[in-house]
């Protein structure tokens, strides 16, 4: 059950970005005009990418939107740092 919860947490932001892109491709492409930036965002910072697309407006991000974006970035960064910290004692293959 724990593994299922971790997998759901890992794939939810990526699925959310996919659903937003499928439901409203014009909004997604207006928020992130470069396909390379979109792909890199989905791979490395999925929650930040999802939050940016959801908060984006034609005027850009305003006021409190930056707080939500910063929170999403901290959560993404925490996931990367946590996985690196959890694997610190693993032996490399072939060592």
Over 90: is that where the pLDDT of 93 sits?
Answer: no
More confident residue, 2 or 44: 44
- 93 within domain boundaries: no
Q: How many domains does the chain have?
A: 1
23 pLDDT band, cuts 50/70/90, is very high
44 in Cβ contact with 72 (< 8 Å): no
The predicted pLDDT at position 14 comes to 87
What is the sign of the dihedral through the CA atoms of 39, 25, 7 and 73?
positive
Would 91 be classed as within a structural domain? no
Domain span including residue 28:
10-86
* Residue 95 forms part of a structural domain: no
Q: Does any domain span residue 69?
A: yes
Q: Which of 19, 57, 24, 52 is nearest to 38 (CA)?
A: 52
Q: Is the pLDDT of residue 10 over 70?
A: yes
Region 6-16: mean pLDDT is 81
């Amino acid at each position: 059950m724990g593994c299922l919860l971790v997998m759901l947490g890992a794939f939810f932001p990526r699925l959310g970005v996919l659903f937003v892109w499928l439901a409203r491709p014009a909004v997604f492409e207006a928020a992130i005009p470069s396909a390379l930036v979109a792909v890199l965002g989905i791979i490395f910072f999925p929650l930040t990418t999802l939050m940016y697309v959801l908060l984006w407006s034609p005027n850009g991000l305003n006021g409190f939107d930056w707080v939500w974006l910063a929170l999403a970035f901290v959560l993404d960064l925490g996931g990367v740092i946590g996985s690196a910290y959890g694997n610190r004692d693993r032996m490399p293959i072939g060592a």
